[in-house]
Amino acid sequence: MSSNLYRNIVIATDGSENSLKAISCGIEIAKLSGATIHAIHVVDTPPAISKVWTAGKDMIYEMMISDGKKIMHKVKKIIKDSGVEVREILLYGHPGEEIIKFAENNNMDLIVIGTLGKTGLERFLMGSVAEKVLRYSKVPVMVVRNRNSEDLTV
């Protein structure tokens, strides 16, 4: 049985354990609907501090790009091995903005993204890519939560 509800699904991944949970959920939806998965990883632009900090900045950014390529290789293999059609996309910029821009500009039907379940000061300081995508995307978003003990506290 196949549905036309979802034809193109974006799965945003950062290589974390919880993004693997999001990948699993996205694969299952893709199998049910016959969708193509567009797996994306966004290499974050260097923070504003990098304008004054120059020593090693380029090397660190190159390492981030290399890590992004490794993540995408692993993700592509997982999805391909599941029997689902996959396209891999490596983007550069601010993750939340780039995920939304990609989904809206490429007629995606669903964004699947994991969340690390950060709370309090840590969430305030780091921000939440999943929250930004959920808040500002015009494309439907499925957020896969990390089910550890921290997530269960209110």
CATH number (domain holding residue 87)? 3.40.50.620
102 part of a folded domain: yes
1 part of a folded domain: no
Average pLDDT over residues 73-89: 97
140: containing domain: 8-152
More confident call, 80 vs 19: 80
31 part of a folded domain: yes
44 part of a folded domain: yes
Domain count within the chain = 1
Contacts with 21 (C-beta within 8 Å, 6 or more apart), sequence order: 114, 144, 146
- pLDDT band at residue 136 using 50, 70 and 90 as cut-offs: very high
- pLDDT band at residue 69 using 50, 70 and 90 as cut-offs: very high
> What is residue 1's predicted lDDT score, i.e. its pLDDT?
53
3 part of a folded domain: no
Highest mean pLDDT among 2-16, 40-54, 104-118, 129-143: 129-143
Q: What is the DSSP letter of 46?
A: P
Angle among Cα 90, 39, 142 to the nearest 5 degrees reads 125
Give the span between the Cα atoms of 113 and 129, in whole angstroms.
9
Its pTM stands at 0.84
112 part of a folded domain: yes
Name the strand (E) or helix (H) holding 114: strand 110-114
